[in-house]
Structure 1
Amino acid sequence: MHIHNISKQNSILNTFISEIRNTDIQKDSMRFRRNIERIGEILGYEMSKALNYKPSTIKTPLGTCNINLPENNIVLCSILRAGVPLHNGLLNYFDTAENAFISAYRHHKNDPESFEIIVEYLACPNLDNKTLILADPMLATGQSMIATFEALKPFGTPKEIHLVSVIGAQKGINFVEKNLNSNIHLWIAAIDKELNEKGYIVPGLGDAGDLAFGEKLQH
């Protein structure tokens, strides 16, 4: 897997990452959602450099202009519900993309420190020979990403796959890398070293879905 850690170079991305982590600023759910969206835009821009382009001629009011334009047929798939703001940020840049949505959540049985990933809802177009962008803001254990990838297999075989995350744990990244083929690209805004005993990223930022849309009842 090709890992693109955008935080390795200083940029305005640092500001947005600091704000979604900050316990005072993240109390403003609207700002939290907007920051995730802006991070999605930055990751989308960086990812666009790896797409395929073809020469095109554009007619202007005063003549013609030659320019290279992307030729990828993109399907943007996000994991609900935390993935919605990230999806919107990517869609701001890939506005002609087809869209897919999937629900994946942690189901705790008797032990609060162990869980399985449950996939219930999935809406997806045909993926054959297309560019799949799979977006999940928090790449913690990596299990949600793999479960989603498996659930998408009946919809076709993408020509190329890009994973997009805001914050990931090294352990989760290693798990995804072990279970997916080497040609897949991961675009990520920050990588943290640890997971706690409940499988949350440390220092991370907390529960991205709750911060974006409010706390949920556990089941």
Structure 2
Amino acid sequence: MQVNHLLEENSIAGKFVAELRDVNVQKDRMRFRRNIERLGEVLGYELSKQLSFSEKNITTPLGNSKIQLPESDVVICSILRAGLPLHNGLLNYFDDAENSFISAYRHHPNNDEHFEIVVEYLASPSLEGKTLILADPMLATGKSFVNVMKALKQMGTPKEIHLVAVIGAEEGIALLEKEFPKDSKLWIATIDKELNDHGYILPGLGDAGDLCYGGKMQH
């Protein structure tokens, strides 16, 4: 798997990540969602450089202009619910993409630290031969991405797979490298080293879904 780590180089994206992490700034839910959306735009821009392009002739009021335009048939699939603002950011740039939505949540069957990733809801077009962009802000253990990809197999085999995340842990990335096809590509803003005993990224930023949309009842 090709790992594209955005903040290996300095960019304005670092400001958006800093605000997502900051316990004072992240209290503003609207700004938190917008920062994830903005990172979706930045990551989508970087991702776009590796899509297929072909030359098109554009008619202007004064003549003709040739330009390279993307020709990939894109489907953006977001993992509910934290994936929604990231989805919006990607859709701002891939505005003619098809859209897919899938649910995944942590289920604690024994009411302890052990959890399973449960996938229940899926609404998706065919993925056969298409460019799949799979988006989730937090890449912790990597199990959500893996289980979601298994659920998507019934929708066909994509031509290429791009995973998009805001913050990830090295452990989760290692699992993706093991479970996803070798030619898959990960686009991620920043990478943290470890997880805590509950499977949350350290230092991370907390629960992205709750910070976007408010708390939820536990299963």
> Normalised by the shorter chain, which TM-score bucket?
over 0.9
Distance 1:173 1:111 in 2: 26
Amino acid across the alignment from 1:189: A
Runs of 4+ in 1 over 3 A off after TM superposition: none
Residue identity in the other structure for 1:64: N
What whole-Å deviation, never above 9, does each CA across 1:16-55 have from its counterpart, x for those lacking one?
0000000000000000000000000000000000001000
| Superposed CA offset, 1:151-201 (max 9, x none) | 000100100000000000000000111111110000000000010000000
Aligned to 2:187: 187
Query: In structure 2, how many angstroms separate the alpha carbons of the residues matched to 1:113 and 1:173?
Result: 21
The aligned counterpart of 1:71 is 71
Partner of 1:61: 61
Amino acid at match of 2:183: N
- Secondary structure (helix, strand or coil) at the match of 1:148 reads helix
State the secondary structure of the residue aligned to 2:78.
strand
The TM-score, its normalising length taken from structure 2, stands at 0.99
Name the structure 2 match of 1:133.
Answer: 133
Q: What is the CA distance between 1:111 and its match in structure 2?
A: 4.0
1:129-208 pair list within 5 angstroms: 129-208=129-208
**Amino acid of the structure 1 residue aligned with 2:199:** G
* Count of residues paired in the alignment: 219
Distance of 1:150 and 1:207 partners within structure 2: 24
Q: Partner of 1:84 in structure 2?
A: 84
Structure 1: stretches of 5+ with no match in the other structure: none
Q: Considering only aligned residues, what root-mean-square deviation do their CA atoms show, in Å?
A: 0.5
Equivalent AA in structure 1 for residue 53 of structure 2: Y
Which consecutive unaligned segments of at least 5 residues does structure 2 have? none
| Partner amino acid, structure 1, of 2:70 | P
Q: Deviations over 1:70-105 (max 9, x none)?
A: 000000000000000000000000000000000000
